Amino acid sequence: MKLIHVLGPGCEKCGRLAANAEQAVRDSGCVARVVKVKEISEMLTFDGVSALPALAVDGVVKVCGRVPGVDEIQAMIG
């Protein structure tokens, strides 16, 4: 099972990123869990986070500071 982390304080962009990640999981049929991380102390455990929101797949930060589309996230988790 893949583990997808959405890192951000809960702003509008964070919500869109979480929704896109959940849709990407549903559309791809991939077995994955989407976890929202809102605590700064937990966000700091991820290497490479330079801006929020950020998306990590299996602990590896893939995107920072923007909201990728569903197709782009599918490519990351595929």
Inter-residue contact 55 to 21 (CB < 8 Å): yes
Whether 30 is catalytic is: no
Options 6, 14, 37, 43, the catalytic residue: 14
Q: Where in the chain does DSSP place strands (E)?
A: 2-7, 32-37, 54-57, 60-64
Options 11, 40, 51, 75, the catalytic residue: 11
Whether 64 is catalytic is: no
Q: Give the catalytic positions in this structure.
A: 11, 14
